[in-house]
Homo-oligomer: A and B are copies of this chain.
Amino acid sequence: MSLDVASTTKRKETPMVIVMQAHATEEELAAVIGRIETLGLQGHVSSGTERTIVGVIGDERPVDPEVFEVLPGVERVVRILHPFKLASRDFHPEDRVIELSNGARIGGGAVAVMAGPCAVESREQLEVTAEAVAAAGVKILRGGAFKPRTSPYSFQGMGEKGLLLLREVADRLGMAVVTEVVSPRDVPLVAEQADLLQIGARNMANYTLLSAAGKAGKPVLLKRGLGSTIDELLQAAEYILSSGNPHVALCERGIRTFETSTRFTLDINAVPVLKGLSSLPVIVDPSHATGRAELVKPVALAGVAAGADGLLIEVHPNPAAALSDGPQSLTPKAFFELMRDVRGVAKVLGRDAG
């Protein structure tokens, strides 16, 4: 895949429209046109009786609307083109597929399930869980070694030791590893062991981390921030893509809303919206989106039915003893039942699951 940005910047487009205030003067309009031309663009004026609008025409480089919003006489600036490019389906019409070293694929029709414990707690806990999910047909093992926790008094993860355990257990079972990285400093270490670097929701706008992950040579699973729009998620992906790494999967894991009966609200609409705007694979995380084990299966099935390319599921051999996210972890038995129905729904919609 070529990331030749230059080749995409030559087309004349209308990236935005400037709406002048009702009583903007001729001088103000002239100043807006002047600013447009200074930037190497052209203005296309359309006057009504009170409102004048100016289409900005030029190559489609993402000029910041602020540049015009601040000018006297401007009421507002409306984007016509999205503020991301490499992440867009316009730029790369075919679905992107991520292939991991063990042959697991994310994107391209099948439902890729990634499962495992929220946090790696011990060799035994990890082995039991990994064996159970592998037996259910899962090829990608998830597990947290570095944990971002809301409270400084919560369990913060096993760190490097947990990472090495993940690698060892996954290798023995022929699985790939996805695990979170929380600091640019840890990127080389995590990239050495993991097949897929997870950027968590709380770090979606940690641009230093995004850039570092983009340069690490491994695919990235980017979770949507809990207060972030779909547009911002795609701009965060753009940070990674523009670092030269085309292998990014997006993850909807629930957003903040006024509803309090679940920890977050899974934005199910986001699945088909993302699939339309972008060719990057889209993963759904029903464990974090609901925070309650009994809701994981229905919401996971909803994600698959809506077209998600994969699922991220927390499983624990004994949720009641988990050091983190116990309430939303499935037992191996419940996970088996989930997988059976995921396969059923995928198949009836003409897809595979594994």
Contacts and interface: CB of A to CB of B under 8 A. Distances in A.
Interface of A: 11-14, 17, 19, 22, 35, 44, 46, 48-51, 53, 55, 57, 60-62, 64, 66-67, 69-72, 78, 80-81, 83-84, 90, 148-154, 182-185, 202-203, 205-209, 225-232, 235, 238-239, 242, 254-262, 265-273, 276, 289-290, 293-295, 298-299, 301-307, 319-320, 322, 324-327, 329, 341, 344-345, 347-349
Given A14-B51, A268-B302, 16 more contacts: A13-B49, A35-B320, A55-B55, A61-B153, A67-B326, A69-B327, A70-B327, A70-B329, A78-B80, A150-B235, A152-B238, A202-B206, A225-B227, A229-B260, A231-B261, A348-B348
Contacts of A268: 266, 268, 299, 302
Copies in the complex: 4
B345 A151 contact: no
User: Which interface residue of A182, A242, A327 has the most chain B CB atoms within 10 A?
Assistant: A327
A269 B152 contact: no
Contacts of A228: 227
A344 B249 CA distance: 28
Contacts of A319: 70
A258 B261 contact: no
Contacts of A35: 320
A326 B259 contact: no
A112 B238 CA distance: 38
Nearest to A156: B207
B51 A46 contact: no
Nearest to A267: B265
B295 A302 contact: no
A229 B259 CA distance: 5
A156 to B, nearest CB: 8
Contacts of A151: 62, 64, 83-84, 235, 238
A306 to B, nearest CB: 4
A261 B266 CA distance: 15
B298 A272 contact: yes
